[in-house]
A and B are shown apart, each in its own frame.
Chain A
Amino acid sequence: MTVSRDQRAIQVPASVDHLSEVRSFVRDCVAHFGGSQRVADDLVQAVDEATCNVMLHGYKGKPGDIDIEAALRDRKIEIRILDRSPTFDPTTAPAREPGSTPAPTRPGGMGLGIELLRSLTDEVHHSARPDGGNELTLVRAIDGPAQED
């Protein structure tokens, strides 16, 4: 049933100076897969957020690489963000009470974190890589918004 039609990948150093490369990559992939401008905008925002968090809070300024892979499967765009920084699962960040002030999602967390990722995508999955590091997968249907607006 699952048909892997196409896959693309990029590797960037863990420095915020490379975020624009990451965004260009995501935008190109979504266009190549035939996704709408809206899907591209949302995935660019989500991947920038997730990748930036890995750079700032995963590697914490230490040298390292981040691999980003994009694939189209069953009309869904899957983007995987792979790193070698200490294991951290953003999807387990505690839900906050409505109206309460959220703590940063992790030490030094400037990012919007999991709430924004969830609002921009249909699915967010995390797994620890067996040989160290994290794999964060963002999934978004190629045609249609992630959710109501």
Chain B
Amino acid sequence: MAMTIDVERLGGSPPVAVVALAGELDASNYEQVIDVVRGAYDEGARGLVIDLEQLTFMASSGLFALHSAVRIMRGETPPDPEEGWSALHQMAQDEDSRATSVRLAAAQEPIARVLDRTGMLRLFALDGSRADAIAALQGA
């Protein structure tokens, strides 16, 4: 099953992009997510919601893409895939690195489980819905 990515740009403060993933996120397509996030940042988005409602599978390469999204939204260079997992663990263990401009929304149970197992929920807030995530970013 392929993955589709839908991007919605919202006004407001800060400008938020919602990236909705559908299907299966794996090693064959994770770079598409990184590219889309980079594009959204370059076009001015300073808050990012990754909507996982329609995502049915996330491999560890998907976790790497989420980590890269945090770095991009901070204006930093995303990590090299060669060092990705090590860097990701480092971040997950550092409370100060908890993402403030990236929120995850509406993960299905298997996805939420893999996020939890790998320590990613210490790094990301996971909201019940896209609307909740947007509201949290924009303080509405």
Contact = CB atoms under 8 A, between A and B. Distances in A.
A108 B57 CA distance: 23
A17 B28 contact: yes
Contact of B118 (A20, A55, A99, A112): A112
Contacts of A19: 26-28, 59
B15 interface: no
A108 B84 CA distance: 9
B24 interface: yes
Q: Tell me the dominant secondary structure on chain B's binding face.
A: helix
Interface residues of B, number: 26
Interface stretch (A44-52, A58-66, A68-76): A44-52
Contacts of A99: 93
Interface residues of A, number: 30
Contacts of A17: 28
Given A104-B85, A111-B60, A55 B27 contact: yes
B57 A110 contact: no
Interface of B: 1-2, 24, 26-28, 57, 59-61, 63-64, 81-86, 89-90, 93, 110, 113-114, 117-118
22 contacts: A16-B27, A17-B28, A20-B2, A44-B57, A52-B60, A56-B27, A101-B86, A101-B89, A103-B86, A104-B82, A104-B83, A104-B86, A107-B82, A108-B82, A109-B85, A110-B61, A110-B64, A110-B84, A112-B63, A112-B85, A116-B60, A116-B118
Given A20-B24, A111-B61, 5 more contacts: A19-B27, A20-B2, A48-B26, A108-B81, A112-B85
